[in-house]
């Protein structure tokens, strides 16, 4: 199965690889920390930072080349940290379709 280069900028019209219809199905059950991306800055050295908002406090987060090689972030996507410390970018629709906010008990 041929896959597109995940480091290339995303284009919604780009054909995506298709897994066979009989491939096993999985359901997410992970607990993650995530912040929605409110801005993206890319510099000429192919590094980037994303702006996120935590409550009313804006934050800038620098991204490593490894994250950018897997995915090009867009405003609205999510910066996600998994329980094992792995950090990635999740497209907005995929994240919102797969996760629900855990409300604080405070």
pLDDT tens, residue by residue, 70-97:
888 999 999 999 989 999 999 999 999 9
Tell me, what's the pLDDT at 33?
92
CATH of the domain at 54: 2.40.50.360
Distance of CA 60 to CAs 10, 63, 104, Å? 22, 10, 24
Whether 105 is covered by a domain: the verdict is: no
Asked whether residue 16 is domain-assigned, the answer is no
Task: Give a yes or no: residue 97 inside a domain.
Answer: no
Expressed as residue numbers, the domain containing 83 is: 33-90
pLDDT per residue as tens digits for the range 37-55: 999 887 766 667 888 887 7
22 in a domain, yes or no?
no
**Helical ranges in 1-106 per DSSP H:** 65-70, 92-98
pLDDT of residue 36: 92
pLDDT at 3: 38
3-state secondary structure 35-47: EEEEEEEECCCCC
Residue 40 phi, psi (nearest 5): -135, 130
Q: How many folded domains does the chain comprise?
A: 1
pLDDT band at 1 (very low <50, low <70, confident <90, very high): very low
Between 7 and 93, the more confident residue is: 93
Whether 11 contacts 72, CB under 8 Å: no
Say if 25 falls within a structural domain. no
Report the alpha-carbon distance of residue 48 to residue 19 in Å, rounded. Answer: 31
Note the pLDDT of residue 93.
95
Residue 59 lies in a domain: yes
């Amino acid at each position: 199965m041929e896959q597109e280069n995940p480091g290339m900028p995303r284009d919604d019209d780009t054909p995506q690889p298709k897994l066979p219809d009989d491939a096993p199905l999985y359901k997410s059950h992970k607990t993650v920390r995530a912040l929605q991306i409110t801005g993206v800055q890319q510099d000429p050295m192919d590094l980037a930072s994303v702006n996120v908002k935590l409550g009313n406090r804006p934050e800038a987060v620098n991204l490593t080349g490894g994250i950018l090689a897997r995915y090009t972030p867009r405003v609205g996507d999510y910066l996600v940290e998994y329980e094992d410390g792995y950090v990635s970018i999740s497209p907005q629709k995929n994240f919102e379709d797969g996760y629900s906010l855990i409300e604080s008990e405070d």
